[in-house]
Structure 1
């Protein structure tokens, strides 16, 4: 977790993926790829606006397996190819997601850090977020293993 993150406000997940940082980054940069793995198990996505650049907007709806639609609006704050993404989720619950990609041998260590507005919000989101983030990375890993990222 980056030093500047307040751990009491954060939900963190890390994973070693058997793919290069470039391949992992490529799974983020094209909306058709990203839509295949973004979200927990059973979710699908409809992307309405995807401006993959610093300051660009990302508006989408996550369709839950329970039939509920979840409106998401985000802004890409940082986009460093093959290295780092910072995405601000601007609807409730607000959070800043930092994804750091670090080469590790033939693979990539992914550090996934969601920083919420307060420790109280983070505590409420931690049980949900920890499981959901693992499922998201499982889905990313499957897309990468299939070679269609």
Structure 2
């Protein structure tokens, strides 16, 4: 968790991106869609991207090794290590290009039940402000994160209405 300075601001605020969305589905279903590879590979990523999973082990210390295929044909090697899993409330992960990526960033996801809906919040903390700025400016991380959560919402809606399997 982030520490807070005496003025009340997070000590990591200049290295963070926070994206949240309310999804019209129960928390357990949203959590399942985020944690089972049969679902995750179908909605993960921003507009125009697809995902190919090489390996997936959802447990603390386990990893998701995958490739994101960009709309321009560029492949992005990706690696996520699961650091904390508290079903269906919270996930912490380390995300980089490989298990030894020095520029890997941490993400903390919370799933809050609001009746039959779920508020998902994704807080990403980069090692440096420069890496955060690069992610925002060069890779459009804010828009990409919002699009990814939009894909999750649409996918879960399909599950609820029987149009996804």
2:126 to 107, 116, 131: 116
Q: Give 2:93's aligned residue.
A: 87
Query: How does 1:1-149 map onto structure 2 within 5 Å?
Result: 3-4=2-3, 6-91=12-97, 93-127=103-137, 128-147=140-159, 148=164
Unaligned runs of 5+ in 2: 4-9
2:88 is paired with a residue of what secondary structure?
A: coil
Name the SS for the 2:144 alignment partner.
helix
**Relative contact order (C-alpha < 8 Å, sep 6+): which is higher?**
1
Residue 117 of structure 1 aligns to a residue whose secondary structure is coil
Post-superposition offset of 1:73: 1.2
CA distance in 2, matches of 1:11, 1:17: 19
Under a length normalisation based on structure 1, what TM-score does the superposition of the two structures give? 0.93
Work out the number of aligned pairs and report it.
Answer: 148
CA drift of 1:20 comes to 1.1
Hey, what's the Cα distance between the residues in 1 that align with 2:44 and 2:83?
Answer: 18
Q: Deviations over 1:58-105 (max 9, x none)?
A: 100011111011000120001111111111013354111111001112
Separation in 1, partners of 2:153, 2:49: 16
| Inter-partner Cα distance in structure 2 for 1:140 and 1:90 | 21
Structure 1, gaps ≥5 residues long:
none
Runs of 4+ residues over 4 Å off in structure 1? none
